[in-house]
Amino acid sequence: MENVLNGAQKSCDCILSVDRFEKILSQFVEIFKRAIRKGIKFRFILTNSNKDTFSIFKDALLQNSLFEVRHFTYSYPCFFIVDCKEVFISTVANRERDDLFLWSTGFFLIEMTQTCFEQIWESASGI
């Protein structure tokens, strides 16, 4: 994950659970802050969540326009799209294993995943 965040040049779109988001945010908060200073935009959709979940997310990081978080009440597989050039799709639903991802730079897989993200982003609710 650290390599993904450090390698991003302009954007990172993610769908993930609240648990994974909390874990990633706490583990890589300084990397997120550094990336935002470089102008990289982050959009997160948190699945299986509601507005009550977000009382813990009052950090200044979430107040930045380059760091957007929305919630979606349904479950969805975890994936990351970096710079619209590569995609990481979780291959397991096991919360104990966060390291098993399918990685691809294939145009059609990225386009399909990005389209899926945009559709869910439009229907997801803001914090």
| Counted domains in the chain | 1
Categorize the per-residue pLDDT at 17 as very low, low, confident or very high, splitting at 50, 70 and 90: confident
Mean pLDDT taken over the chain: 84
Q: What is the pLDDT of residue 56?
A: 52
Once rounded to an integer, what is the mean pLDDT over residues 15-23? 86
Q: Pick the residue with more confidence: 9 or 5? A: 9
Closest CA to 23 of 64, 55, 56, 50: 56
**CATH no. for residue 114?**
3.30.870.10
Instruction: Give 36-93 pLDDT, tens digit per residue.
Output: 999 999 999 998 765 555 555 556 566 788 889 898 888 888 899 999 999 999 877 6
**CB proximity list for 99: less than 8 A, separation 6 or greater:** none
Say what the pLDDT of residue 21 is: 86
Smallest CA-to-CA distance from 48 within 23, 69, 75, 68 is with 75
Residue 12 structural domain: 2-126
Give pLDDT, residue 99. Answer: 65
| pTM across the whole model | 0.86
